[in-house]
Structure 1
Amino acid sequence: MPVTPQAYRPETALLDLGDAFWDPVQAAAFPSAELRFRNDRAADEVGLAGLTDEEWIRHFGRFAPLPGTLQQPLALRYHGHQFRQYNPDIGDGRGFTFAQLRDGSGRLMDLGTKGSGQTPYSRFGDGRLTLKGGVREILATEMLEALNVPTSRTLSLIETGEELARGDEPSPTRSAVLVRLSHGHIRIGTFQRLAYLQDEEGMRRLVGYVLRALYREDGADPVRLLELVVQRAATLAASYMAAGFVHGVLNSDNINITGESFDYGPWRFAPTWDPGFTAAYFDHAGLYAFGRQPEAIHWNVMQLAASLRLVAESEPLIETLQTFASQYQAAVARALLWRIGVLPRDAEADRALVQTFERAVRATSAPLDRLFFDLFGGKLPEDYGPEWDDLRTALASHAPRKSRDHAYWRGEPCAMLIDEVEAIWAPIADGDDWSRLHAKVAAIRTMGEAHA
C-alpha cells in the first residue's frame, strides 16, 4: 500500500477503552462502488494521499482494514438527548469507526463512516446514506473549513448502487457511503450512557482516554476535562455564528467532546442575520435556530457536567460551567473579527465592534455573504448608507489582518445558500454531471485561501 511512510502513523488507542464501549461490526456488501469524491488535501495529512483510486475504493468502499490500525470496524455505544428528550436506545446506527491515525501535528484522528450498513443500533433504519446526503456533507464541511469552523472533513464519497426510499427526498434515490476524517468520535452522549448505567469505572476510564488521547494531557481529572470542553464548545458556538451556519440537530449525541462540528444532516447557511432562522423542517419550536445555537451547545455541555457528577463533586463542575458565557463572548469576538478581516485590539474595543456589527446587521437585514465580502479588511464601500456609520466608526480602531490582494476579492462572494445546494445536486441527479460540485469545491477552497 503506497502510504507516505513519514506521514502514515496508525493507532489503535480506541481499543484501550475496552469492549464495553463499542461493538465489532461488518460493513454492508454494496452492489457497486464508484468513487465520486476523494479529499487528497485531507488524506495527505494522515499519509493516505498516495492511494490509487482502486486502493481507495478497497479501503473506503469495501472497508478492507488499513495496516497497523483497527482490524475490524467498531460501532460506538452512546445515549443522548434528542430535542431535549433522553434516548437510551441509540448508538452508531449507520456508521462505525474504521481506523485511527495521527496527523502531522500528532493529533489522534478517526476515520468514521456514514451509510456503511446496519449495526446493533440501527433499530428500524437501513444503515444507508443517500447520495444527496453525501453531497450535502461535502459542501458543508468544505465551506465550514474555509470559514475557520472546527469541523470534520469529508474524506471520501463512494456511490454504492442501491435504491433507497426516503420521506424527505424523491424516492427511490441513489445511495452512497461516506468517510469522514475527525478528531475523535466520542460524544457528550458517550458520557451520558455511563452516567445512566452508573458505571463509575467506565466513566473514569473514558475521562482518562479523552484527556490523554484527544487533549494530550496527563491525568484523569473530570473537572479539567469539563474546563477543556467548555473552552472548545464556546469556540464552536461562536464559529457557527460568525459563519452564519445552522447545524440543525444539536443533540447531545451530535456534540463531539473535542468541540469539533460533525454529522451534517439538515444544515443551512442563513441568508441574513435572523436569530429565528432554522435548518430542520422538523424543528417546529426553533430549538436549534441560528440565534439559539450558543444556548443549545451550552445546554449540552451542562449534560456533560451532570454526567461527570458520577465521579466528581458538583461545586467545581458548576463553577466551570459558569465560565461558558464569558468564554463565548470572547470567542465570538475573535470569530467575527477574523471573518471581518481585522485584528483584535483590546477586549472593550472588540466587544464594541461586535455589538455594533450585530445591531447594524439586524436592523438592515443585509445579505450576510455579500456583507462579509465587502467588509473584509475593515472598510465598507460607499454604497452602504448612513445606517452603517456607527459600524464604520467602530471599524476605524481596528487594523486589517490581511490585504485584499488575493484574486478572490476581485470576484463575487462564495456563498452556500439552499438554492445553490439544490442547483449543484440537480445535474448529478438528472445527468450524472459532477462538474458543478467539483467547481464549487474549488471555489470554496479559493475563498479559504483568501481568508486564511
Structure 2
Amino acid sequence: MSAYRPETAILELGGDFYDVVEAADFPVTKLRFRNDRWAATVGLDDLSDAQWLRHFARFEALPDNLAEKLALRYHGHQFRVYNPEIGDGRGFLFAQLRDGAGRLMDLGTKGSGQTPYSRFGDGRLTLKGAVRELLATEMLEALGVETSKTFSIVETGEALERNDEPSPTRSAVLVRLSHGHIRIGTFQRLAALDQPDNIRKLTDYCLRQFFADESGDPVRLLDHVAAGTARLAASYIAAGFVHGVLNSDNINVTAESFDYGPWRWTPFWDGHFTAAYFDHGGLYSFGRQPEAIHWDLLQLARALAAIAEADHLNPILESFRNRFQLALRDAILARLGLIPREPGEDLRVLTAIEEALAGQTMTIDRFFFDWRGGRPATVPDEFAELRALIDAYQPVPGARDHPYWSDPEPCSMHIDEVEAIWSAIDRDDDWSPLHAKVAAVRRMGEAMRDGGGR
C-alpha cells in the first residue's frame, strides 16, 4: 500500500498542450468495477464506493490535484494517413499521482463526454467497450505486458447508437491508470505546427518525468522510446496479442500499451491474423506489429529532427530490430519459465518455436502451458526438434510450482469467451462470468510471477 501523493506536473507544459473541458452529466452512476489492487499503489484504495463515484463518475477533483479536466492535443498517422483533426475526443486527464516507486501516473478517462476533438462523435463509451478493455488489460498484465490498468468502470444509464454493434446499447465511463498519456502523435502535432520550442519543452518533460533523465537531449529520448517500444512489440508477440490499431497516436512514449479497441488474441501462431474488421490490408496483423511500431517510432524521429541532427537519430532507428529480437527472446523464455543461455542458442530456439507453432496444430496458450519449465510429458512429432533444443535449458526455480500449472486447461482470452461474458451482462445483467474471469486471469498472473515470469 502506498500513500496518496498528488501531482500536477502536466501544468508545467502550459495551455499549448491541452484544452480545459467539462465532464458529461450522466443520468446514472452505477459502479461496476473498481481496481483496488492498483488503487492501493496510488493511495486511493480506502475510498468508499460513494467517494469513488464522486471522483470517477462525477469527476470531482481529487485533493490537491488538477483543478480542471484537460483534453490533450495531438495529431497522428491513422493507418499511415496523417490526421491533424484528432486529440482527446471522448476523454481527458483529470489527476496525476506518484506511485510507491515514485513514478508519475495519470488518471485519464474514456467515455466522459465531448471535447473540442469529438468531431461528430458523442464522446461516450459503450459498456461492452469498457468490459473489453478490462479483459484486455487484465490479461496483458498477467502475461507480463506493460499496459495501462483499467481503474474504474461505471455504468451511466444512456442508450447509445453504434454502427458496428447491436443498438441501442448500454453506456459506461472508464478510468485508466497509466504511466503518462504523451503519445508519439503529441510530438507530431508540434512538428506539423512548426513549434520547435514546444518540442524542446515536451522532450524535457518526458525525459524528466518518465525516464529520470535531466539531459533534455532529444536523441536520448528517442533511445528511451526505441528500447521501450521494442519491448512492447516483443511482448505482444510472446503474448499472442493483436492490438488492432497501432496508429502513432496510440503509441505512448513510455511504451506502455493502451487505448484498446478491436483487440484480439490469436489462437494460433498466424502472422496474418488481424483484430480489426476494417484492417483490410492486414497492416496491423499479428506478425506485422513490430514493423508497425517501428514505423511509428520513425514518425517520432521525424518530429524530433526539428531539434536534433538526423545523423544522431538514425542509428537508434536502426537498432530497433536487434533490440526487438533480444526482447522477444526474453519475453518468450520468461513465458516458458526458462533461463536464457547464449544469444545464438536462444535464437535457434525462438526460430524452432515459430516454425513448430506455424503448423497450427497447437494453440499458443496450450504450448506455453504444456511446455512451461521445458519438459512436457508428451511431444508431438512436429515439436521433436524443438524438444531437443529446449532440453539444454534449465527451468527458472519454481517455474511450475503454482497449482495453476496442474489445471486441465490454460487460461486464455479468445473471442468466443469474451462474447459469452458480454452476453451474460447484456442479456441477464449477470456479472459473475466477468468477475470469475478476472479472478482466473489474476491467478494465472500469480503463477507466472511465482516462477520468474515477467
TM class by shorter chain equals over 0.9
Q: 1:230 aligns with which of 226, 232, 238?
A: 226
2:428 counterpart letter in structure 1? G
Q: Does 1:436 align with 2:433?
A: yes
Give me the whole-angstrom Cα distance separating, in 1, the residues matched to 2:255 and 2:389. Answer: 31
Q: Does 1:71 align with 2:47?
A: no
Deviations 1:185-244 (A, max 9, x none): 000000000000110110000000000011111121000000000000000000000000
1:386 positional shift: 2.0
Q: Does 1:387 align with 2:376?
A: no
Q: Does 1:115 align with 2:115?
A: no
- Structure 2 equivalent of residue 247 of structure 1: 243
2:339–2:393 CA contact under 8 A, matched in 1: yes
2:210 counterpart letter in structure 1? L
2:130–2:173 CA contact under 8 A, matched in 1: yes
- Identify which range, 407-416 or 294-303, moves more after superposition: 407-416
Runs of 4 or more off by more than 6 Å in structure 1?
A: none
1:341 positional shift: 1.3
Deviations 1:76-128 (A, max 9, x none): 00000000000001000000001000011000000010000000000000000
Between the two proteins, the alignment pairs up a number of residues equal to: 447
The secondary structure found in structure 2 opposite 1:20 is: helix
Give me the whole-angstrom Cα distance separating, in 2, the residues matched to 1:394 and 1:296. Answer: 31
State the TM-score, normalizing by the size of structure 1.
Answer: 0.98
Q: 1:8 aligns with which of 1, 4, 10?
A: 4
1:62 counterpart letter in structure 2? R
1:403 positional shift: 2.9
Instruction: Give matches, 1:233-382, under 5 Å.
Output: 233-382=229-378
The secondary structure found in structure 1 opposite 2:387 is: helix
1:298 counterpart letter in structure 2? H
1:273–1:365 CA contact under 8 A, matched in 2: no
The secondary structure found in structure 2 opposite 1:179 is: strand
Give me the whole-angstrom Cα distance separating, in 1, the residues matched to 2:329 and 2:65. Answer: 40
Q: 1:54 aligns with which of 29, 50, 57?
A: 50
2:418 counterpart letter in structure 1? V
2:269–2:360 CA contact under 8 A, matched in 1: no
1:148 positional shift: 0.2
Give me the whole-angstrom Cα distance separating, in 2, the residues matched to 1:17 and 1:270. Answer: 40
1:426 counterpart letter in structure 2? S
Q: 1:445 aligns with which of 432, 442, 446?
A: 442
1:344–1:398 CA contact under 8 A, matched in 2: yes
1:109–1:182 CA contact under 8 A, matched in 2: yes
- Structure 1 equivalent of residue 411 of structure 2: 414
Give me the whole-angstrom Cα distance separating, in 1, the residues matched to 2:399 and 2:281. Answer: 42
1:32 positional shift: 0.7
1:364 positional shift: 4.0
1:427 counterpart letter in structure 2? A
1:291 counterpart letter in structure 2? G
- Structure 2 equivalent of residue 142 of structure 1: 138
- Identify which range, 256-265 or 367-376, moves more after superposition: 367-376
Give me the whole-angstrom Cα distance separating, in 2, the residues matched to 1:385 and 1:15. Answer: 58
2:380 counterpart letter in structure 1? G
Identity of aligned residues (%): 62
1:151–1:260 CA contact under 8 A, matched in 2: yes
The secondary structure found in structure 2 opposite 1:371 is: helix
Give me the whole-angstrom Cα distance separating, in 2, the residues matched to 1:20 and 1:403. Answer: 50
- Structure 2 equivalent of residue 396 of structure 1: 391
Unaligned runs of 5+ in 2: 450-454
The secondary structure found in structure 1 opposite 2:16 is: coil
1:298 positional shift: 0.2
- Structure 2 equivalent of residue 217 of structure 1: 213
2:338–2:374 CA contact under 8 A, matched in 1: yes
RMSD: 0.8
1:82 counterpart letter in structure 2? Q
Give me the whole-angstrom Cα distance separating, in 1, the residues matched to 2:360 and 2:289. Answer: 22
2:3 counterpart letter in structure 1? A
The secondary structure found in structure 1 opposite 2:158 is: strand
2:234–2:290 CA contact under 8 A, matched in 1: yes
Unaligned runs of 5+ in 1: none
- Identify which range, 400-409 or 29-38, moves more after superposition: 400-409
Deviations 1:132-165 (A, max 9, x none): 0000000000000000001000000000000000
Give me the whole-angstrom Cα distance separating, in 2, the residues matched to 1:208 and 1:385. Answer: 54
Give me the whole-angstrom Cα distance separating, in 1, the residues matched to 2:340 and 2:420. Answer: 38
State the TM-score, normalizing by the size of structure 2.
Answer: 0.97
1:320 positional shift: 1.0
Give me the whole-angstrom Cα distance separating, in 2, the residues matched to 1:397 and 1:220. Answer: 45
1:12 counterpart letter in structure 2? T
